[in-house]
Structure 1
Amino acid sequence: MIETPLEFPSHGTTCRGVLYTPDADSKGLPCVVMAHGFGLTHASGLAPFKEAFCKAGYAVFAFDYRHFGESDGQPRQALSARKEVADWLAALNFVRQLDRIDGNRICLWGTSFSGGLVIAAAAKDGNVRCIISQCPMMDGLASLLAVVGYAGPMQAMRLTWHGTVDWLRRGLGMSPRYIASAARPGELGMMTAEDCLEGYVPLLADNASNYVAAGVSYTFPFFRPIQSASKVACPALMLICDQDTVAPASVAAKAAERMPNAEVKHYPVGHFDVYRGEALAQSIDDQLDFLSRSFR
């Protein structure tokens, strides 16, 4: 792959990414625009997808959200679904202007939390060729209720308390209150199911961290991309992990039913299993087949 670092503005903040191309000379390439999920950077475990897409002849533009990774934005590790949707739209508009890219053949690719973000972004934009949404978080409220289900209501109360402290600290001009993105069962963290810590930590790149500003616990339940699903008319591939403890599979399936042109693939694995082994290989095969049909 040829790697070209690039940057683009998103509402006054500089976001950075990398354009991956199969060679140095091709023009009019279809492009997969890609970013990671909850609190992660595009360097965190997405190399197999980038490599597979480039090998198939597609360009990939992978970027980091503001406040994360190589992108600017203060405070660091402050996750806002609203801002990240705006970053997706800014990245999309930026890629459409690149000389080497066919602006009419762009796929938005998201996984986990960004699997929901691409639904919201595609609904707002209305002109992307297709989307791929892998183990998607389609309803923040349902995900929070899942946390209550496996960790108990006390965990939700702890998250609310630390979220309150975070917003108060930031309102007073102080540094954020941080909590773990993934932790062991019983510990404080946004994801604490049995498979979360061991699944999340191996994905972390050098420019990623296993913590976020705690205030996300307040806004998380209000991010419900399932409500935008019916507005996504383009071809969509929904890759659902049936044993998902993070993003309830039943909600992803309901979202797909609301999308007029969605295909669904089910994998009998947990949320983090799709990044490795047989599930990864099968997911990539399914995605390449979908892209070959969608980019014709």
Structure 2
Amino acid sequence: MDVAFPSGADTCAAWLYLPERTEGERPPVVILGHGLGGVREMRLDAFAECFCEKGYACLVFDYRHFGASTGDPRQLINIDRELADWRAALAYVRSHDEVDGSRVALFGSSFGGGLVIDVAAADGGVSAVISQCPFTDGFASARAGGAVSTARVSVRAIRDVASATFRRRPVMVALAGPPRSAALMTAPDCGPGYAALADLAPTFRNEVCARFALDIARYFPGRRAKDVNCPIFFALCRDDSVAPASATRRHAQRAHRGEVVEYPCGHFDIYLGDPFERAVTDYIDFLKRQLPTG
């Protein structure tokens, strides 16, 4: 069902999935959020449907400034605001009458996979975390983009900051593009990978406000893995060209209750086909062990 919850002065649009249950039963709930510029139609619904079939309620939301959520300017990635959106989603499910707000898991993918580490570490009351192909190390991801693309994006980012200062129209940059282009992700598999997911999402736009590029190399959510006190499942894509698996391995080793599984695929492959089927089976096994359903 369509629902919404407040975050700051704006509203996050979401879907709430409720499993079949006996009268009065309140199931545990999984909150799902996407990565860079992603919207919920880009296969988060597929994960939620699988979890719901196994007895879990699911809340799948769009960050502010994206998809069906409110927020201006559009297509703005702001780390602090997206962390606040996760906290707002937690507050929403914890106060909902039809789910067990004391048993909440977080599922974040790509950039969202890094955000959930940060959120769980700060919150302390989350029951479990699934961090899929996670962005954990800003420096590693910035290097993966290549020097030429980084330089071209940086020029636009500086122009966008100036535009924001004078309240002018944002300067945009592509999320995914060909090698050496002015895009945040430029590995050969990024364009086709994003396109395969974008075909499922009519609200998706392959652009964001360029100012975000100045924040990427300074954000290291993986460093907070050591502060997560609940079980956390790290799903690494072995051939990840966006969020290098080597960086995540280092951070995951510091998690007190971490589990690491590597999948022989690229960053965008895990949303579809056999990699998806294998991964979602592992996620359900993890959830069943950490948050048993009735």
TM-score under structure 1 length normalisation: 0.95
Q: How many residues align?
A: 289
1:139 positional shift: 1.1
Residue 276 (structure 1) aligns with: 272
SS of the residue 1:215 aligns to: helix
1:22 aligns with 2:19: yes
TM-align CA RMSD: 1.2
CA distance in 2, matches of 1:27, 1:281: 28
1:235 aligns with 2:234: no
Residue 172 (structure 1) aligns with: 166
Residue 95 (structure 2) aligns with: 97
Q: 2:179 aligns with which of 170, 174, 185?
A: 185
Q: Which runs of structure 2 are paired with 1:33-72 in the superposition (5 Å)?
A: 33-72=31-70
Task: State whether residues 119 and 225 of structure 1, in contact with CA within 8 Å, keep that contact through their aligned partners in structure 2.
Answer: yes
1:23 positional shift: 3.6
Instruction: Report the CA distance shift for 1:57/1:190 in structure 2 as closer, same or farther (over 3 A).
Output: same
Task: State whether residues 149 and 186 of structure 2, in contact with CA within 8 Å, keep that contact through their aligned partners in structure 1.
Answer: no
CA offsets, 1:10-44, max 9 Å, x none? 12211111101124866311100011111011111
Task: State whether residues 86 and 119 of structure 2, in contact with CA within 8 Å, keep that contact through their aligned partners in structure 1.
Answer: yes
Letter in 1 for 2:221: P
Q: 1:32 aligns with which of 27, 30, 33?
A: 30
Q: 2:111 aligns with which of 113, 117, 127?
A: 113
Letter in 1 for 2:3: L
1:159 aligns with 2:153: yes
Task: State whether residues 185 and 192 of structure 1, in contact with CA within 8 Å, keep that contact through their aligned partners in structure 2.
Answer: yes
SS of the residue 1:39 aligns to: coil
Task: State whether residues 27 and 99 of structure 1, in contact with CA within 8 Å, keep that contact through their aligned partners in structure 2.
Answer: no
Q: 1:202 aligns with which of 196, 203, 208?
A: 196
Moved more, 199-208 or 25-34: 25-34
SS of the residue 2:100 aligns to: strand
CA distance in 2, matches of 1:81, 1:195: 25
CA distance in 2, matches of 1:122, 1:42: 21
Structure 1 segments of 4+ aligned residues over 6 angstroms from their partners: none
Moved more, 21-30 or 110-119: 21-30
Q: Which consecutive residues of structure 1, in runs of 5 or more, have no partner in the other structure? A: none
CA distance in 2, matches of 1:125, 1:47: 25
CA distance in 2, matches of 1:195, 1:101: 39
Q: Which runs of structure 2 are paired with 1:244-259 in the superposition (5 Å)?
A: 244-259=240-255
Task: State whether residues 180 and 186 of structure 2, in contact with CA within 8 Å, keep that contact through their aligned partners in structure 1.
Answer: yes
Moved more, 10-19 or 239-248: 10-19
Q: 1:141 aligns with which of 139, 142, 163?
A: 139
Identity %: 40
Residue 13 (structure 1) aligns with: 10
CA offsets, 1:167-200, max 9 Å, x none? 1111111111111100112322100101001001
Task: State whether residues 35 and 63 of structure 1, in contact with CA within 8 Å, keep that contact through their aligned partners in structure 2.
Answer: yes
CA distance in 2, matches of 1:224, 1:42: 24
CA distance in 2, matches of 1:37, 1:121: 14
Task: State whether residues 201 and 210 of structure 1, in contact with CA within 8 Å, keep that contact through their aligned partners in structure 2.
Answer: no
Residue 76 (structure 2) aligns with: 78
